[in-house]
Amino acid sequence: MSGKIIKHCPRCSTPFTAREILESDCIIPIGITVDEENPELAYFYFNHNDNNCRSTFMIAAKDFEEFVNPDKNLEIKTGQEGCGGYCLEIENANQCANNCYWVQYRNFISQLMNKKKTFTV
């Protein structure tokens, strides 16, 4: 899948594969939002920043499964006891230690945010 186009920038129409989104210096991760009950409604948010485009777009978190390799047996525990509520704050990059289905995706985007932060001004 990493060679398949998963998104076109909504402003400039540049096509991106998942790998390009993860590796390109002009794609900056913003965060994640999740639905407390439906895994189909979780999205990663990104900024596309290059010389000709300044846009924001979202991509379904499931489109990055090959990179996250989630344990689908984990329960969704968003909002339950022990939940820090990080998934409810889009730009919150704190690592989550909750044993929850979403922690896998949160920690993935958090690591990507921290990695790309070192490359941005």
- Domains of the chain: total: 1
Q: Pick the range with the lowest mean pLDDT from 26-35, 64-73, 91-100.
A: 91-100
Reported confidence tier of residue 120, pLDDT bands at 50, 70, 90: very low
Say what the pTM is: 0.86
Domain that holds residue 32: 5-117
Average pLDDT of the segment spanning 13-24: 94
Q: What is the DSSP string of the chain?
A: -TTSEEEE-TTT--EEEHHHHHH-TTEEEEEEE--SS-GGG-EEEEEEEETTEEEEEEEEGGGGHHHH---TTSPP-TTSTT---GGGSTT------S-STTHHHHHHHHHHHHHHHTT--
Query: For residue range 68-98, what is the model confidence (pLDDT) as tens digits?
Result: 988 989 888 888 888 888 888 887 777 777 8
C-alpha–C-alpha distance, residues 120 and 54, integer Å: 14
Predicted confidence at residue 118, as pLDDT, reads 54
Quick check: 121 pLDDT over 50? no
Rounded Cα–Cα distance for residues 72 and 17 (Å): 24
